[in-house]
Amino acid sequence: MRTYLADEALLPEGWARDVAIDVDGAGAIVAVRTGAQAGAVEGAERLRGPVLPGLPNLHSHAFQRAMAGRTERRGPGGNDSFWTWREVMYRIAARFGPEDAEAVAAQLYVEMLKGGYTAVAEFHYLHHAPDGRPYADRAEMARRILAAARRVGIGITMLPSLYRHGGFGEAPPAEGQRRFLNDAEGVLHIVATVQADIAGGADARVGLAPHSLRAVSPALLADAVAGMRALDPEAPIHIHVAEQLREVEECLAATGRRPVARLLELAAPDARWCAIHATHMDAAETAALAASGAVAGLCPLTEANLGDGLFPFGAWRGGGGRWGIGSDSQVSASPRHELRQAEYAQRLHLRARTLVASEAQPSPGTTLLLEALDGGAQALGRPVGAIAPGRRADLLVLDAADPWLAGASGDTLADAFVFAGDANSVRDVMVGGRWVVRDGHHADERATATAYRASLARLFG
């Protein structure tokens, strides 16, 4: 067992001084003590700055890292939207081979680790060859993503996605969607393969991701969820829902129900579910989904980039709703910037400040961190997101010499970390008791970047 000493650390109950963290050989935290003195713990390692739990990233499409910055040009005729962006995404997705999927994911995951994400939920729908035919190993692409995560040392919840239809009413899929398509049996085969691959590993988990209500029929959704529950009754289930107003309109036209109301009716989501985006809910939907225990998967920078709309954050939190953050389309690998955008979007909309803070907790930075840690861990279905016994030893050591954090501690430090500066303030990163980033550098970053550049040359050369 190893003991780590932090002058200051964010615990579930708030900031604490002189914290000793005992970690066993399997990478789990077994004890946390406050008021510990360095000389009283023989052989302890003193951490080189304030300590946060590693942030869970609850929504990632890894292959889209290769697209970041390449989808911003005005399209012919203008009127650009999520739907025109999606067509560009389909064209780029059609170029990927297995080697590219692994190289791009590895580059992204190194960037996530360096920014402060220590675990990721990979919503994986790039399953098959460009012509839509399954690879000889149907789980080839999922295994490539898993290999990238293992190589760079990030924790992962793999979520093979079920995608069958091109729209509500079982509309036929578009040409650009053919790589994504599976039936329930096909996607559950991928799930079972990944489940076997990660058996016994403490830093990986598998769940299921029905893509959206427009991409799966009610019967298919029911079959896939039942199959997943047979494999793992507690597995996380993630689904895109109500991201766009057009989706709401089409769901109403096809079913007479709004998307979140339809999801509640069909699937009775509970704490094992994560509703990705859930941007366009009415008051009744917001209250009912929050009460279900499901996590809202917010991706503030992607939602802003795509012009999705504004999540009803105040009503959601007021109803006891849990939430976390994801990087989605990979326009940023920084959790602090996602948290900042989550609050700033609400400030712009409501023309007020410190909206997530309260009398009990006046620091918006601490509030955002603790809530995103808690909701993210729930969504990933893994014991992460807190410096506490029984959780994985996923730790971020901040750079105390960063001028943006100079002289700050406790809640003031959290506010500075979330709301001030652009440079990366993360110095060291531990995942499952193992250091994967030291002094801001990952040991594999050069090789990973070389492979990534080679993939970009193949994809866009």
Q: What's the start-to-end Cα distance of the chain, in Å?
A: 50
Same domain, yes or no, for 374 and 239?
A: yes
Instruction: For residues 294-303, give the mean pLDDT.
Output: 98
Q: Say yes or no to pLDDT of 39 above 70.
A: no
Give 204-226 pLDDT, tens digit per residue. 999 999 999 999 999 999 999 99
Give Cβ neighbours of residue 226 (< 8 Å, ≥ 6 apart): none
In a domain, 334, yes or no: yes
Same domain, yes or no, for 112 and 197?
A: yes
Tell me, what's the pLDDT at 40? 66
d(C-alpha 279, C-alpha 57), whole Å: 18
Among 59, 124, 277, 280, the one annotated catalytic: 277
Token pair recorded at residue 167:
């729209």
In a domain, 108, yes or no: yes
Among 22, 308, 328, 399, the one annotated catalytic: 328
Question: ∠ CA(344), CA(347), CA(353), 5° rounding?
Answer: 105
Same domain, yes or no, for 7 and 86?
A: no
Instruction: For residues 34-48, give the mean pLDDT.
Output: 83
Give the structural domain span for 27. Answer: 2-52+389-445
d(C-alpha 89, C-alpha 247), whole Å: 18
pLDDT band at 4 (very low <50, low <70, confident <90, very high): very high
In this structure, what are the phi and psi dihedrals at residue 316, rounded to the nearest 5 degrees?
-60, -50
Decide if 393 contacts 3 (C-beta within 8 A): no
Same domain, yes or no, for 118 and 80?
A: yes
Q: What percentage of the chain exceeds 90 in pLDDT?
A: 96
d(C-alpha 85, C-alpha 303), whole Å: 12
Token pair recorded at residue 186:
């096909």
Tell me, what's the pLDDT at 461? 86
Which of 343, 360, 380 is at the close of a domain?
380
Write the CATH number for 414: 2.30.40.10
Write the CATH number for 178: 3.20.20.140
d(C-alpha 309, C-alpha 4), whole Å: 43
Same domain, yes or no, for 166 and 312?
A: yes
d(C-alpha 150, C-alpha 109), whole Å: 10
Token pair recorded at residue 290:
């929050």
Give 168-194 pLDDT, tens digit per residue. 999 999 999 999 999 999 999 999 999
Same domain, yes or no, for 148 and 205?
A: yes
In a domain, 454, yes or no: no
Give 346-401 pLDDT, tens digit per residue. 999 999 999 999 999 999 999 999 999 999 999 999 999 999 999 999 999 999 89
CA atoms within 13 A on the CB side of 126: 27
Instruction: For residues 136-146, give the mean pLDDT.
Output: 98
Question: ∠ CA(228), CA(181), CA(83), 5° rounding?
Answer: 110
d(C-alpha 324, C-alpha 69), whole Å: 24
Same domain, yes or no, for 137 and 215?
A: yes
Q: Tell me, yes or no, if 277 is annotated catalytic.
A: yes
Decide if 213 contacts 263 (C-beta within 8 A): yes
Coil, helix or strand for 405? Answer: coil
Q: From the centroid of its chain, how far is CA 414?
A: 20
Tell me, what's the pLDDT at 318? 97
In a domain, 350, yes or no: yes
In a domain, 209, yes or no: yes
Same domain, yes or no, for 271 and 151?
A: yes
pLDDT band at 140 (very low <50, low <70, confident <90, very high): very high
Side chain identity at 107, as an amino acid letter?
Q
Give 51-109 pLDDT, tens digit per residue. 999 999 999 999 999 999 999 999 988 899 999 999 999 999 999 999 999 999 999 99
Tell me, what's the pLDDT at 38? 62
Interhelix angle 184-197/140-152, nearest 10 degrees: 30
Same domain, yes or no, for 46 and 85?
A: no
Same domain, yes or no, for 219 and 263?
A: yes
Which helix (H) or strand (E) segment holds residue 303: the answer is: helix 300-305
User: How buried is 423 (Cβ within 10 angstroms: 0-12 exposed, 13-18 middle, 19+ buried)?
Assistant: exposed
Bridge partners (DSSP) of residue 397 are 51, 428
In a domain, 452, yes or no: no
Give 399-411 pLDDT, tens digit per residue. 989 999 999 999 9
pLDDT, greater one: 239 or 39: 239
CA distances from 405 to 47, 59, 353 (A): 16, 28, 21
Same domain, yes or no, for 89 and 28?
A: no
Instruction: For residues 434-453, give the mean pLDDT.
Output: 98
Which of 336, 356, 380 is at the close of a domain?
380
Coil, helix or strand for 156? Answer: strand
Total-model pTM: 0.98
Decide if 17 contacts 47 (C-beta within 8 A): no
How many CB atoms sit inside 10 A of residue 388's CB?
Answer: 15
In residues, how long is the chain?
461
In this structure, what are the phi and psi dihedrals at residue 128, rounded to the nearest 5 degrees?
-115, 180
> What would the 3-class secondary structure string for 161-177 be?
EECCCCECCCECCCHHH
| Burial 350-366, CB ≥16 within 10 A → b, else e | eeeeebbbeeeeebbbb
In a domain, 455, yes or no: no
The domain tally of the chain equals 2
In a domain, 461, yes or no: no
Same domain, yes or no, for 241 and 269?
A: yes
Q: Say yes or no to pLDDT of 37 above 80.
A: no
Instruction: For residues 281-292, give the mean pLDDT.
Output: 98
How many CB atoms sit inside 10 A of residue 319's CB?
Answer: 15
